[in-house]
Amino acid sequence: MERTCLAVVLAAGDSTRMKSNVSKVLHRVANRPMIAHVMQAVASAGVSAAALVVGRDAEEVAAAARVPGIEVEAFIQKERLGTGHAVLAAQEAIARGYDDVLVAYGDVPLITEAPLRAARQGLAEGSDVVVIGFHTDRPTGYGRLLVKNGELVAIREEKDASDAEKAVTWCNSGLMAINGRKALDFLRRIGNGNAKGEYYLTDVVEIARSLGGRVTAVDAPEAELTGCNNRAELAVIERMWQERRRNELMLSGVTMIAPETVFLSYDTVIDQDVVIEPNVVIGPGVTIESGATIHSFSHFEGARIGPHAEVGPFARLRPGANLGSKSKVGNFCEVKKAEIGEGAKVNHLTYIGDAFVGARSNIGAGTITGNYDGVNKHETHIGERAFIGSNTVLVAPVSIGNDAFIASGSVITSDVPDDALALGRARQEVKPGRAKLIRERSLAIKAAKKS
């Protein structure tokens, strides 16, 4: 839209019912603060400026609300006197003059751009106020949207509704769009002549109509308007977000054998023809490219899995893991800040950290890159087609050349050139009868302890 728009996002909740020392909107859904989900939807709806109404944790909330494409300005709500009062906390921003003012809530993280755009479109078509509503078969407790001749005539609260009005299933979400040129006038006319002495944003509907304005409503899916007040509701929202995103990915060509056991993050990218087995957790910053196979009970964060790579079962990829095409990281392996080259294999019980593994190299079971000296991290470089025998420790910094061969059980502390064989273990000694003496001594010590 070419129309200018300010989003006023209410995010001053105290987190009382969350039983938390952290602001409610900072609690995470899909590893992202709730407020960031809302701001992303707002930005996608063509909004370039936002007035964030905050209370506790103001700086942290404002920081979490900053997403690309939208300029955020925070306003402190010092008193809690209702939603109308909260929106007026941002009157300085509203007064700058926008075509549209969009009111949203920071604890509704499932909202998408579609209903926000629909509300703005209603303003573009001549409405002064557009309320976003939802249909539900459980309307009890919600304000009802009463429509006549295509216009919204009132929002009737449950306690004030007649029996006929209580039968209405179109309910108020609290989100709305207001004509930006008239918004301040409408908001300043809201009174507090009610039992609670609060200023209700919903009064804007009758105020606008009393001034000859047109008020309409648009519909949105009930799920998108689910708010969060406590930890149980947070879990429900997480489940709903996961179900929605899994479905999107499966429709795009991703196979999930047991989708309800796969957990995604807000920024997870998975290409088509990826197969994901049950019980996989994907943290932030993960990309899985086409044709990869993810086996069960694997956990990823900050990693890239290249095309046709194979990972798991029971594999952990930590930030900086970069797996090349057709590479393999197998069972009970951990990779951190390391590049695994094309066709390279890290098959069993292995830790690769701060390392480069060249194409088609083979890392044997139980291999460890000793990257930490207690103070600093150091790098290990393994060339192409190298063979690292089982139970090897590569003490960084160290470089293993192309086509090099490291004997099993070695501790490698010096560079190994191309095509070389390296053995870093003591020569075996056999002492006949010594085991019997050791056993007899151990039994004697045990017996002495009992006496």
pLDDT at 141 over 90: no
The pair of structure tokens assigned to 337 is: 């800040």
* Residues 249-301: tens digit of each pLDDT: 999 999 999 999 999 999 999 999 999 999 999 999 999 999 999 999 999 99
Mean pLDDT, rounded, for 410-415: 96
Catalytic residue among 85, 135, 295, 348: 348
Q: Which secondary structure element, helix H or strand E, spans residue 186, and what is its range? A: helix 183-188
Whichever domain contains 82, its CATH number is 3.90.550.10
pLDDT in tens, 195-210: 788 899 999 999 999 9
Residue 157 in any domain: the answer is yes
Are residue 35 and residue 67 in the same domain, yes or no?
yes
**One domain for residues 278 and 376:** yes
Whether residues 283 and 214 fall in one domain: no
pLDDT (mean) for 385-395 = 97
**Which structural domain, as residue segments, surrounds residue 358?**
243-390
Radius of gyration in angstroms for the set of CA atoms belonging to the chain, rounded to a whole number: 31
Assigned domain for 232 exists: no
**What is the mean pLDDT of the segment spanning 401-419?**
96
Mean per-residue pLDDT over the chain, rounded: 95
Residues 320 and 256 occupy one common structural domain: yes
> What span, in angstroms and rounded, lies between the C-alpha atoms of 366 and 295?
20
pLDDT of residue 214: 96
- Residues 30, 169: one domain? yes
Domain's final residue, options 364, 390, 416: 390
Which of these, 191, 206, 226, lies nearest to 81 by C-alpha position? Answer: 191
Is the domain of 194 the same as that of 281?
no
Q: Render pLDDT for 142-175 as a digit per residue (tens, 0 to 9).
A: 999 999 999 999 998 888 889 999 999 999 999 9
Count Cβ neighbours within 10 Å for each residue of 286-309 and write b for 16 or more, e otherwise. Answer: bbbbebbbbbbbbbbbbbbbbbbb
pTM: 0.91
- Give the pLDDT score at 57: 87
- 378-412 CB burial, b ≥16 within 10 A, e <16: bbbbbbbbbbbbbbbbbbbbbbbbebbbbbebbeb
Same domain, 31 and 78: yes
CATH number for position 341: 2.160.10.10
Cis peptide before 68 (omega within 30 of 0): no
Please state the rounded mean pLDDT for residues 44-52.
Answer: 94
Residue (of 4, 451, 37) closest to 244 by Cα position: 37
Residue 434 counted as domain residue: no
Q: Do residues 220 and 254 both lie within one domain?
A: no
Q: Is residue 213 part of a domain?
A: yes
**Residue 118 lies inside a defined structural domain of this protein:** yes
Cα 232 to Cα 320: distance, rounded to the nearest angstrom: 34
Does the structure show a pLDDT above 80 at 322? yes
Q: pLDDT per residue over 99-128, tens digit each?
A: 999 999 999 999 999 999 999 999 999 999
Report d(CA 310, CA 313) in Å as an integer. 9
Return the pLDDT at 1: 60
- Taking residues 166-185, report their average pLDDT: 95
The domain tally of the chain equals: 2
SS3 248: helix
Query: Does 184 share its domain with 257?
Result: no
Is 37 an active-site residue?
A: no
